Structure 1
């Protein structure tokens, strides 16, 4: 039996994960993370997580399970490590994933550190992923059984030490089973909708939220030949691969839609062009985080480049803190700031943050 902290978000997954840990005989304490000094500034109702309603739902679930329940104030750590990082990344022309950052710095760093300091053995969460013990004795992170709910991508930031203290009871289940189990256990969250989007952007308007914090930073939207198409109020409102909301007015010569190809944050220049120019086959990345030993030599593998995105066959090479990924088949619309997560089969090898991409030259083979 282990003493575990159950991170209870107020949703059905974390409630059932806590219930399964209790049923398995563990000594479980429920904890809800207060991530904002003003919870009403975060999502409310079913649109997100981390709201006042979610805290109440988590407390009621803990009462049903008969386990102690506490609220841990992580608002300072969340603001410093997740919110401020999100703003800084967009200001630098990159496209971050705050959920990975939250898992890395809050749920499996700050929370786990506090849990271990208080004498707990680990943390249990409602993430959909599997943990297995490998031949070497290391704990391996694998994709969940339910491919549609698999969250191994956002857990690719976890180290071996963190994995050894993690418990993911839902990894072998599908979502319909989890909801049915919650209903059988009389958990009121059984039919609660899943959370979506970014929890700290209250109305879902990322561009508007960033504008309030970064202010106007005028620039231009240009074609690849440098022709100015219109002015804008901030390059942070755009992401590579974006098509909607460009409001260019003048159609392209070929009449086809144009997409954001590049963002230059210093000048505020946003470059647009045809869809085929979004294709890339080489990625460079830094800040690698390995779930176990780092790859030794070229690694034939697959990589995932966005949450719930497709897998791409690739070769990964590591040189200290730098990672180079060569895709066998080009990918579209990959932006600096995104995470590349490396897999061998279903096993997560680790992750890194994309810093640069190289485009396939249209009409010149595969660009190599």
Structure 2
């Protein structure tokens, strides 16, 4: 069995490690690895939501069966396990924000909001209150000690890397966090779970938006904000009406399918959403090219950085060369799929420098005309 370094400052048998246990295979293996160090281990599970069918759905997280799975793993490992009801906090800080962002015509990323608040603020505070030496999670990122302290780096397995979702981690939080799976491929993690006889060894991974039953996010948004189902017009950039829609929540920038405006001379894509007029504005693919983006609420992980960097503007996108002056992110080449509400994460090689939220974009066409 692999035994990653938890980077403890004292002998392990004198330490206490708190593990965030979601009920999945990743956090279960983290708990097992922590217990193997000889430290006292406490597993904490936060019940985050209870949306009926979501609690029993394959790929959910932190609800229903997941809580039972976490408890069963803790019992098998012989570690303490506690469950805390954070449903109200999660609804206010993540689900309500998710709905409001869609209502405002932006594309939200609830996983980052969850890490920012419930997981890396509230849960970390709990771990400190318990006198723990660190909080360990099952994220696939690496904590590397550099010349100026702890740095956050991509996970060794590119297919599992979760660094995009953790850009808002603060230096103080990073000092206290541990990510023991960051150097492993998923296959090895599952093998450890099988060797230990953990029932979650082959449990499917949680989905991107864990609290959305069947992936129908529009249903959740309308449940939280009933007015979200109000329709409007689908128009071209010059205002020509091409059709109607049943709510902005059904669209994201860059979307092509589902517009139901056939008979056009060329494929049309969602270029922007206008919540004030409830209009969906469409245009050719060339209209999606973005030259720059204004970034808000920037978080730097460590010292300010002025060297060559790359930027990632979607979780599944490849990092691209860019320049950042603290407010404007300028791409070396036009980038597609850049949407307000999403995150722009900055890298130097494998190191995560930080990032922020995309507030607005500058179309490549506009930049050329300026």
Task: Name which of structure 1's ranges 44-53 and 323-332 shifts more when overlaid on structure 2.
Answer: 44-53
* TM-score (structure 2 length as normaliser): 0.92
- In the TM superposition, 1:298-313 aligns within 5 A as 298-313=306-321
Distance in 2 between residues matched to 1:334 and 1:44, nearest whole Å: 34
Count of residue pairs brought into register by the alignment: 355
Q: 2:234 touches 2:242 (CA, 8 Å); kept in 1?
A: yes
Moved over 3 A (4+): none
Q: Which runs of 5+ in 1 are unaligned?
A: none
Question: Which position in structure 2 is the counterpart of 1:18?
Answer: 31
- Find the partner of 2:293 among 268, 283, 288: 283
- Find the partner of 1:123 among 127, 135, 138: 135
Q: 1:281 touches 1:331 (CA, 8 Å); kept in 2?
A: yes
Classify the secondary structure of the residue corresponding to 1:222.
strand
Q: 2:140 touches 2:155 (CA, 8 Å); kept in 1?
A: yes
Question: Which position in structure 2 is the counterpart of 1:82?
Answer: 94
Q: CA deviation at 1:236?
A: 2.2
Q: 1:43 touches 1:201 (CA, 8 Å); kept in 2?
A: no
Classify the secondary structure of the residue corresponding to 2:322.
strand
- Find the partner of 1:177 among 170, 184, 188: 188
Classify the secondary structure of the residue corresponding to 1:361.
helix
Question: Which position in structure 1 is the counterpart of 2:40?
Answer: 27
Q: CA deviation at 1:286?
A: 0.4
* TM-score (structure 1 length as normaliser): 0.92
Q: CA deviation at 1:109?
A: 0.5
- In the TM superposition, 1:313-328 aligns within 5 A as 313-318=321-326, 323-328=327-332
Partner deviation per Cα, 1:53-109 (whole Å, 9 max, x = no partner): 111111111112110111011112111110111111111111110000100111100
Q: 1:207 touches 1:236 (CA, 8 Å); kept in 2?
A: yes
Q: 1:284 touches 1:357 (CA, 8 Å); kept in 2?
A: yes
Question: Which position in structure 2 is the counterpart of 1:341?
Answer: 345
- Find the partner of 1:165 among 176, 188, 212: 176
Matched, 1:111 2:123: yes
- Find the partner of 1:55 among 67, 71, 83: 67
Distance in 2 between residues matched to 1:269 and 1:110, nearest whole Å: 38
Q: CA RMSD in A?
A: 1.7
Q: 1:282 touches 1:326 (CA, 8 Å); kept in 2?
A: yes
Distance 1:242 1:123, change over 3 A: same
Q: 2:19 touches 2:42 (CA, 8 Å); kept in 1?
A: yes
Question: Which position in structure 1 is the counterpart of 2:268?
Answer: 258
Q: CA deviation at 1:41?
A: 5.3
- In the TM superposition, 1:88-99 aligns within 5 A as 88-99=100-111
Task: Name which of structure 1's ranges 39-48 and 23-32 shifts more when overlaid on structure 2.
Answer: 39-48
Distance in 2 between residues matched to 1:290 and 1:106, nearest whole Å: 20
- Find the partner of 1:101 among 109, 113, 116: 113
Task: Name which of structure 1's ranges 218-227 and 142-151 shifts more when overlaid on structure 2.
Answer: 218-227
Distance 1:96 1:309, change over 3 A: same
Classify the secondary structure of the residue corresponding to 1:191.
coil
Q: 1:299 touches 1:317 (CA, 8 Å); kept in 2?
A: no
